[in-house]
Every structure is written in C-alpha cells, then in structure tokens.
C-alpha cells in the first residue's frame, strides 16, 4: 500500500445498474430501444431536437425518482477518497449524479451530466429543470431554442481530456469498474495508466473486449465486489506490483 499514492478509477453504466439505471448494451439497454444516431449525436439533435429533448427529459425524470439512489459501490468509492492517504480520482462515463450523491468530490464527468443544460450561444452551463426543450428560454439569452443537454454525444470531444490523460499517466493503480470498454477514448485509459507504470485492474459483471489487457480482473456485481475491494485497498492488501 505504501507504493500506491495515486489511484485513478474509470466507471461506466455498470456501477449504476444496481441503482436501477439501465446500462447501454445489456438486455433492455438504452441502445436496444433507441438508435444512437438519433438520440446521442449532434446530427440527431439537428434532425429531430424534440426526440432528443424527450430522450434526456425521460432519463432525467427517472434519475430524480426517490428509488434511484447510490448503491454500495458508489458509497465505497466515496469512502476510499475520504480515507485513502494518497489521491483518488473518479473519471465517470456516466451522466447520472450518483457518485456526487454518494459523497465523491474528486470527480470528472467526461461525458457530461444529465442534470445540467448548456446554452449553445454563450456556452454557459445551468442546472437543468426536470423538463426543458426547444421552447424553454435560456437564462442568459432569454430566448428559446438555445438550450441543449450538457452531454457529450458521439463525435464530440469528451471533457477534460488533457487533465484525464495526465492523471492516468501519473497513477500507480487504475481501476475500471462497470464498463464494456467499447467507447473511445475511455476504452484506452488502461493503456495510458499502464504506460505511466500503474497496475490495472478491471472489476465488471462479465469479461470485456479489454479484459485480457488488464493485470487483474474481478468478475461480479459492483455492489458486491467494490466494497470488499476498497477495504482491501485501505488495509494495504492490494499490492501495486504487477504479478
């Protein structure tokens, strides 16, 4: 444990699955019921903004339900950040706010945030009401038609990529939790971490296309795997050495 100073953690939809938020590529996943091109690209928004506003309003409404709460995996990562002697950075692909609600502070939403909206004219970011669309006047320009979800769509550049890359290159341990490792550039973060000398560990329900590139893999549900793994980390039972 003494050699592990900086931990970087990538999370994906799998960490929120047990909180009741559908993943993208599992049975009944989001991409089973929608075409990515129609609801998660700038072209789709241009073509049919109403469909895209509806897609995100529905997900924001679901996220705001009382039964959608952080699960033990989110809580464990927030505990790791509080109690670990070194630095812990969570980089999430998720657009839900469950990491924040669990108490995570050092957090980057590389794909944006469901609870925020952005004015395309001023680029100002606002907390989103449960519902907004092309008729909602934006708080800065006071006119309708300028607001979009503060989400990174396919074909758009994820947020804070420079900071993410330097943190990964400077970490001693990289954890990938609940992601299918299919979406670039998050899918190559393990490479940047390994390049920087980090040990890389994947914790996921099932093996992924990237599993054999990690130093270690643990398979299971995040809410069952992550709390125990965090306890092992905090008690110094995880060696930074690549076996």
| DSSP assignments along 23-88, one per residue | -SSSTT-HHHHS-HHHHSSHHHHHH-HHHHHHHHHHHHHHHTSTT----HHHHHHHHHHHH-SSEE
Q: Which is nearer to ligand BV8, 5 or 101 (CB)?
A: 101
Q: Please, what is the minimum distance in Å from the beta carbon of residue 224 to ligand BV8?
A: 8
Q: Is 111 a catalytic residue?
A: yes
Q: Which two tokens stand for residue 136?
A: 């909602």
Binding of residue 214 to ligand BV8 (CB under 6 A): no
Binding ligand BV8 (rule: CB under 6 A), the pick from 85, 157, 212, 235 is 157
Sole window of 97-105, 133-141, 202-210, 235-243 interacting with ligand BV8 (rule: CB under 6 A)? 202-210
Q: Please, what is the minimum distance in Å from the beta carbon of residue 41 to ligand BV8?
A: 8
Provide the 10 A C-beta neighbour count for residue 106: 12
Sole window of 8-16, 83-91, 138-146, 234-242 interacting with ligand BV8 (rule: CB under 6 A)? 8-16
Binding of residue 185 to ligand BV8 (CB under 6 A): yes
Judging by beta carbons within 10 Å of its beta carbon (0-12, 13-18, 19+), is residue 116 exposed, middle or buried? middle
- Interface of this chain with ligand BV8, residues 119 to 138, rule: CB under 6 A: none
Residue 6 contacts residue 199 (beta carbons within 8 Å): no
Binding of residue 173 to ligand BV8 (CB under 6 A): no
Sole window of 83-91, 139-147, 174-182, 191-199 interacting with ligand BV8 (rule: CB under 6 A)? 174-182
Provide the 10 A C-beta neighbour count for residue 126: 15
Binding ligand BV8 (rule: CB under 6 A), the pick from 38, 183, 213, 218 is 183
Please pick, among 74, 109, 111, 150, the residue that the annotation labels catalytic: 111
Counting every residue, how long is the chain? Answer: 243
Sole window of 61-69, 116-124, 131-139, 145-153 interacting with ligand BV8 (rule: CB under 6 A)? 145-153
Binding ligand BV8 (rule: CB under 6 A), the pick from 206, 216, 231, 232 is 206
Nearest CA to 150 out of 120, 93, 109, 112 is that of: 112
Q: Please, what is the minimum distance in Å from the beta carbon of residue 155 to ligand BV8?
A: 5
Judging by beta carbons within 10 Å of its beta carbon (0-12, 13-18, 19+), is residue 19 exposed, middle or buried? buried
Residue 200 contacts residue 194 (beta carbons within 8 Å): yes
Binding of residue 63 to ligand BV8 (CB under 6 A): no
- Cα 89–Cα 95–Cα 99 angle in degrees, nearest 5: 45
Binding of residue 111 to ligand BV8 (CB under 6 A): yes
Q: Name 135's Cβ contacts closer than 8 Å, sequence gap at least 6.
A: 144, 145
> What CA–CA distance (Å, rounded) separates 218 from 228?
11
Chain positions contacting ligand BV8, by CB under 6 A: 12-14, 17-18, 23-26, 29, 40, 93-95, 111, 151-158, 161, 178-180, 182-185, 204-206, 208, 221-222
Q: Which residues are catalytic?
A: 111
């Amino acid at each position: 444990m003494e050699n592990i100073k900086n931990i970087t953690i990538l999370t994906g939809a799998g960490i929120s699955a047990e909180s009741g938020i559908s993943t993208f590529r599992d049975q009944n996943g989001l991409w089973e019921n929608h075409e990515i091109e129609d609801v998660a690209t700038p072209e789709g928004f241009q073509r049919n903004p109403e469909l895209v506003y509806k897609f995100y309003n529905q997900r924001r409404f679901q996220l705001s339900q009382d039964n959608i709460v952080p699960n033990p995996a989110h809580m464990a990562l927030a505990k790791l950040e509080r109690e670990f002697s070194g630095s812990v950075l969570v980089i999430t692909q998720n657009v839900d706010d469950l990491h924040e609600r669990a108490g995570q502070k050092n957090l980057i939403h590389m794909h944006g945030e469901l609870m925020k909206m952005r004015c395309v004219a001023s680029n100002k970011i606002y907390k989103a009401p449960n519902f907004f669309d092309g008729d909602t006047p934006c708080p800065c320009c006071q006119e309708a038609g300028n607001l979009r979800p503060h989400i990174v769509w396919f074909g758009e550049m994820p947020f804070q990529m420079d900071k993410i890359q330097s943190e990964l290159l400077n970490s001693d341990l990289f954890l990938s939790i609940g992601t299918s490792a299919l979406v670039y550039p998050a899918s190559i973060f393990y490479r940047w971490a390994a390049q920087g000398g980090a040990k890389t560990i994947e914790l996921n329900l099932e093996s992924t296309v990237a599993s054999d590139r990690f130093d270690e893999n643990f398979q299971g549900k995040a809410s069952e795997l992550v709390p125990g793994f965090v306890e092992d980390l905090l008690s110094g039972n995880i060696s930074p050495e690549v076996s």
